[in-house]
Every structure is written in structure tokens, then in C-alpha cells.
Amino acid sequence: MSEFVRIHEVGPRDGLQNETRIIDVAQKVALIDLLAQSGLSHIEVGSFVSPKWVPQMADSDRVLAQITPMHDVRYAVLVPNMRGWEALAAARVSGVRYEVAVFISASEGFSQSNLNCSIAQSIDRLKPVVAAALGADVALRGYVSCVTDCPFDGPTSPAQVTDVVRRLREVAPMPVSLGDTLGKATPERVQAMLEDVLGAVPPDQLAGHFHDTGGQALRNIEVSLALGLRDFDSAVGGLGGCPYAPGAPGNVATEAVVALLDRLGYQTGVDPDVIAQAAEMAKGMR
């Protein structure tokens, strides 16, 4: 029996958040519902952030209300603060499995740009969100951005990533997705970063989140696999970017990750034909 690797689909959130043309709720819902039929177990569908900062995600409550929930899919949303948690609490539909994603940065420059506060302040701000999610029995996941490079501060040291991951997991144990936000990481630097983080956190608690600016994302996934990671984020059709990371284009494409993992002999449970249809749909939204 081949080993299982989980794919976290982030296209409807990380992918679409950067599109300047506002995409209809119906189109987002159609994409999410198609993705849910592919066998993906985790789909990130929106974020409850300030609509002034990320206008594309301002309709996340309507997206949650209109998707056709699949029992075996967990629907993830980004929540930056208690205001976001309250919006999620009001929007969530009974019986649906959600995941709250809290997000911080390994670099101070990106923290200021993305969250308008320092790393320490962002960790304080997410503490009540984490407590609320745990109290409501909602799954948690953490994101750490800029794990190799920051658009403002330059290269990020591996020790800095380990320190931030450790501080995040001191709030509550949670899996942490390590973000190459700019897509500039090389396999060598990913390896050095992971070796440091793995000194503090086991591989089953880590995920790789690679943007593909430099065309190295698949090689970075291979390096991460060799170090024991079995959870990767990707966006169908290679959608993506980040409004607060100038120069960051798409996430690694889900269809490419599924093909890579299949070629390497891993199981994903994801149907490549359905993903190919979803990739066509996603590309039509750009």
C-alpha cells in the first residue's frame, strides 16, 4: 500500500484573493463544489479579514452559505482576529466541518505589511481566536509566511522560522504550514529551513506551502517529502499570489502536485480528471 500525502487546496482563497476583478459568489461556489467532488479532503474557501484589505474575500459568508457541503471535506477559512471569528461563527452552517487557519509571519516586515502589527502582537491577537476555535471544537491550522524570503526584510534565517513556529505552537498545538510566500526558495534553502524546524516540531505537524515564482515549487515539495512532510498546499490552475507580497504570483498548481505525487508512488485520493476540469474553470476566472 503506497503512502498517503494530503493536499490542502487553497485556490478559492489564496488563489482568488489576489484577483482584482471581483468574482461572483456563484462562480466561487461552483469552483469549490467541483473541487469537493475530486476527493480533496481540505479546501480553503475564504477568509474573514478586513474587506478594505482584501476586497475579493468580502463575500466569504455568502460562499459558506451557498456551497454544497460534502461530509468528507473540511472547509478552511482564514481568521485574523476575534472580529473574524465572530463573522465565521455567524456564517457557519450546522453539520459542516470547518478549519480555522490563523496566520503569522516569520519576518517583521511582512507581518507589518500583511497584518499591520509585529509578530509578537499577531501572536497575542490570535490567542483568543485559538481559544474560541478549541472551545467550539473547530480544527485549527497555522500558517507561517516568508519562511525563506521576505519582500521587505530579505532572506529569513531558519532559526527565525523555528522560533516563530515554536511560539505559535505554544499557543496551542496545531499543524503549521510553512509558506514560501514569494516563491523564491531553492531546494537547498528549503532543506536548511526544514532541518532547523524539524529539530523542534515533528514532520507530521508541518506542511509545505510553495508559491511557484521561481519554478522550484515541485522540487521544494520533493525535498520536503524526503524530510518526512506529507501535507502540501496548492491551488488549482496555479491560481494565486498575495496582495501584500509584491511580486508573488501563483501557488504551485494542484494538478502538477497530484501528478508529481502519483509519479513518485504516493496516494492522494484525488481524481486528476476532476482537478483538470476545475483547473479549466479556475483559469477562466483570471
Q: Using CB under 6 A, which of 11, 12, 15, 80 touches ligand HMG?
A: 80
By a kind-dependent CB cut-off of 5 to 8 A, residue 173 interacts, out of ligand HMG, Mg ion, none, with none
Footprint on residues 211-250 left by ligand HMG (CB under 6 A) = 242, 244
Shortest reach from residue 54's CB to ligand HMG, in Å: 5
Q: Does 53 contact ligand HMG by CB under 6 A?
A: yes
Shortest reach from residue 80's CB to ligand HMG, in Å: 4
Q: Does 47 contact ligand HMG by CB under 6 A?
A: yes
For residues 179 to 208, the per-residue mask of contacts with ligand HMG, x marking binding by CB under 6 A and - elsewhere, is x-x---------------------------
Q: Which is nearer to Mg ion, 14 or 149 (CB)?
A: 14
Shortest reach from residue 182's CB to ligand HMG, in Å: 8
Residue 117 annotated to the active site:
no
Q: Are 54 and 20 in contact (CB under 8 A)?
A: no
Choices 27-35, 108-116, 162-170, 255-263; region in contact with ligand HMG by CB under 6 A: 108-116
> Residues with Cβ < 8 Å from 81, sequence gap 6 or more?
125, 126, 129
Task: Give the total residue count for the chain.
Answer: 286
Give CA–CA dist 42/54, Å, rounded.
22
Half-sphere exposure of 104 (CA within 13 A, CB side): 27
Q: Is 90 exposed, middle or buried (0-12, 13-18, 19+ CB in 10 A)?
A: exposed
Name the residue with the smallest CB distance to ligand HMG.
179
Q: Which is nearer to ligand HMG, 70 or 282 (CB)?
A: 282
Shortest reach from residue 198's CB to Mg ion, in Å: 21
Choices 44-52, 155-163, 184-192, 268-276; region in contact with ligand HMG by CB under 6 A: 44-52
**Which residue type is seen at 211?**
H
Phi, psi of 55 (to 5 degrees): -60, -30
Q: Which is nearer to ligand HMG, 103 or 232 (CB)?
A: 103
For residues 6 to 25, the per-residue mask of contacts with Mg ion, x marking binding by CB under 5 A and - elsewhere, is --------x-----------
Q: Which is nearer to ligand HMG, 40 or 252 (CB)?
A: 252
Q: Does 54 contact ligand HMG by CB under 6 A?
A: yes
Q: Which is nearer to ligand HMG, 5 or 48 (CB)?
A: 48
Which residues are tagged catalytic?
242
Q: Which residues bind ligand HMG (CB under 6 A)?
A: 14, 17, 47-54, 78, 80-81, 83-84, 87, 103, 114-116, 143, 145, 179, 181, 209, 242, 244
Q: Which residues bind Mg ion (CB under 5 A)?
A: 14
